Structure 1
């Protein structure tokens, strides 16, 4: 057991350690990454890269499947504004919320994907891969909760128990949910500002019902959102000649392709014709399935039905050029012969698109995460890299200082002061890094040292992920994606030395 003594003076060894740590601090402080190094290709990550969670051999993939929204279709920023405005108006016109709510406007810089909303308290927050709360991201309405003890007291710490997570919270898993979360926060703030009594779950339920009206609506067309997009499609969709070339390349190389989407045929037909600049877009797919109702598609036994005209016949084969709706995974595999790990399916929604396809049915999966491109560009900026380099240096200094105290068995007062000072600077630097991505919630993919809850699900349910499906355009059909070796904490020192080639210095 160590003998702990706080000394007002300190030994010769203590003096040497303190001065050494101060010198390391000052050297790094005065010599950050310069602009030239910051702009170099060293350490640069391209937003066009493909990132690997699990080994994937494309030579064994015979079938490529695609979702539509935010996978094949890339939307402009106009869509989020339209969703927000439409939901806001439904809340007033249908659910009789205060008319002043119609004065609200969408703030695109507030919410991010992957947040969790607490039904009972009206809190919006980000949690990490271990279900721990990132405390400085907890908001009620548009205001951060500064009293972190209120959050800690509720859960008896930062961890959210699985039962509470399942029954009292929901996650914002797709890009459609960002304007929904923003409006929910705006309404909570309005009610608080006007001292109106409310239960946060009622507000959440009403916005969920408003979203149902917006996205479903008329049979055969889709909700009012689909109607709005179809009226002015060039304002919402981006043409994608690279997408056409990629799909044509797959088919020329003998791969089968299919489209599996929850959207309706009129909406898909209009959108795909615009994206591909041709009305012959169905030639790009062997099978087209709309109104799939994922994730129920993977679990249910609903039969397929032809989508082009009223009919009541059983579907016992897929005919190229026909469009089908509904259906289920068992019949899909039976009718096509496509199953298991010869299928690679791409989608943007972790739970609706990827989870069941991967775990229950053995498909390989690719996640399309459009925010990834922006986050990569931020991480490439010299200011961000300087701040990250400084954070890692501070953490190394803190480890050295604490290790010396542990080794020597007593504490030095001046060293205690350095540790307290550096811990505060570490907190400030981590906040600066967080705000580089989003002032309120930080990165979509990371809390501080841990991956976010959202990023962990991507890692679990997607073999590969990327910002755009066309990133695969230049990849050969026999390419093998090899993931980086994942180091456990007790492995990292030796294996990092081996990777870097520095192990020879110690042999």
Structure 2
């Protein structure tokens, strides 16, 4: 009896094993048929609609009816710059490296490469490499450079031992909400792009000419040279504003529209008054100050948002000096200097969700005001225009669609057995890698999209979506919406919801 029971049990196990193996076995013909069917379905699908390049995109629900006060940064928010600005800063920084820091005169022949880098990248100060991270702190292979030379995957793993970076290594040690040490720096604003260009060019020169150098010293010299370059740039640009600033005929109309809707406006910028005045005169007109209820220059953000006590002062336009009288109220038409957001709120009573502040930097402009003060925030991301133009390209849409569908059949049939089937699967994986590479390089040949790695959001995107309620490529894109418009975020698809949304 026991023998028959054991025999019966073994037969059941064998049948189940055979059934399991059969479910994992796919003939070459069936795999090719499924591939052809999937390809044919993809080709017959209607391509997605174009994305509106002048759209405003919501990360968080934002009802403009609740907003009574609009605040603005100046650089890359109200004022967008032409590529000539990058060349100017790069050339000034290179000259300072040679003249003040005694770098080899041969680097004067290293010209700026405009399409080499994007913002949002990380630079490892200790190891001297530039790399791109995703929202999970994973290194994007194929986007790690020493100078102008890409590192292989093996070289990257030898440097870091792991593809995932420890958060303390990336973000430093945090104490009392302040970063106390940093091994890596994120280059998060557009002014950092020429800095990256100079850093990589000089690194490349040292590497190719076998010059012994210290990566951290090089980084700090380049950073210091670019800080000094900004001081010179602030004097050069006002002499020929049209050569550096993008005209924006809608900016005045936008400000008029807000004032006609009885909104209060303020400007908080790190740039000096004379520089801002020339730029706003060009963009809006000589009466630009009449649109703003409060104007604060040389604010020293992010310290403006984080310092508890730093007196706000009056700037005297005629003498160019600061008046040291105590400021007890903020008056329209007066230019203010430094100060803190605490004083701004105390003197105006502008608080919380009634304030919407626009800037281009996810950290120094947006993070503290939303986390500490409850302001609503908008990010101006000029690169978004190029990103959306690329998304709307027909070939890109076709490749992105096929990538999704090819990945699905790989996932569904990856457990097949047999050498022939595995060769087919490897061909599919190779095709997938090729598609991912093509989709990457249409944004930027070295680093791809600002907003994503191969499949995950980039680290830059993660911080942007965390700190910005809305984002757009140009501040005047808001003219496409009423001052009472509500921006609704789209329902994001979680991994476990994918099939229920996309059958």
Q: TM-score, normalised by structure 2?
A: 0.90
CA RMSD of aligned residues (A): 2.1
* Match in the other structure for 1:74: 80
After TM superposition, give the deviation of residue 246 of structure 1 in Å: 0.9
8 Å contact 1:401–1:415 — kept in the other structure?
Answer: no
* Match in the other structure for 2:109: 103
Count of residue pairs brought into register by the alignment: 472
Taking the TM superposition and a 5 Å limit, the aligned residue runs for 1:39-438 are 42-146=48-152, 148-165=153-170, 166=172, 167-215=182-230, 223-276=231-284, 278-300=285-307, 301-308=309-316, 309-402=321-414, 405=416, 411-438=417-444
d(CA) in 2 for partners of 1:486 and 1:101? 48
d(CA) in 1 for partners of 2:89 and 2:33? 55
* Match in the other structure for 2:10: none
d(CA) in 2 for partners of 1:330 and 1:475? 31
8 Å contact 1:264–1:290 — kept in the other structure?
Answer: yes
* Match in the other structure for 1:460: 466
SS at match of 1:358: helix
8 Å contact 1:66–1:258 — kept in the other structure?
Answer: yes
d(CA) in 2 for partners of 1:247 and 1:95? 44
d(CA) in 1 for partners of 2:78 and 2:251? 7
SS at match of 1:174: coil
5+ residue gaps, structure 1: 216-222, 406-410, 503-507
* Match in the other structure for 2:9: none
8 Å contact 2:128–2:215 — kept in the other structure?
Answer: yes
d(CA) in 1 for partners of 2:138 and 2:23? 43
After TM superposition, give the deviation of residue 32 of structure 1 in Å: 6.1
8 Å contact 1:305–1:325 — kept in the other structure?
Answer: yes
8 Å contact 1:346–1:367 — kept in the other structure?
Answer: yes
8 Å contact 2:304–2:341 — kept in the other structure?
Answer: yes
d(CA) in 2 for partners of 1:99 and 1:27? 62
After TM superposition, give the deviation of residue 393 of structure 1 in Å: 1.6
d(CA) in 2 for partners of 1:374 and 1:264? 30
Query: CA 1:195–1:254 in 2, change beyond 3 Å: closer, same or farther?
Result: same
After TM superposition, give the deviation of residue 491 of structure 1 in Å: 2.9
d(CA) in 2 for partners of 1:11 and 1:478? 61
d(CA) in 1 for partners of 2:228 and 2:62? 40
5+ residue gaps, structure 2: 1-12, 173-181
Q: TM-score, normalised by structure 1?
A: 0.89
8 Å contact 1:65–1:259 — kept in the other structure?
Answer: yes
SS at match of 1:191: helix
* Match in the other structure for 1:219: none
* Match in the other structure for 2:496: 490
Instruction: Out of 253-262 and 411-420, give the one that drifted further.
Output: 411-420
After TM superposition, give the deviation of residue 15 of structure 1 in Å: 4.7
Q: Deviations over 1:343-394 (max 9, x none)?
A: 0000001111011111111110000000000010011111111111121121
d(CA) in 1 for partners of 2:340 and 2:252? 28
After TM superposition, give the deviation of residue 135 of structure 1 in Å: 1.3
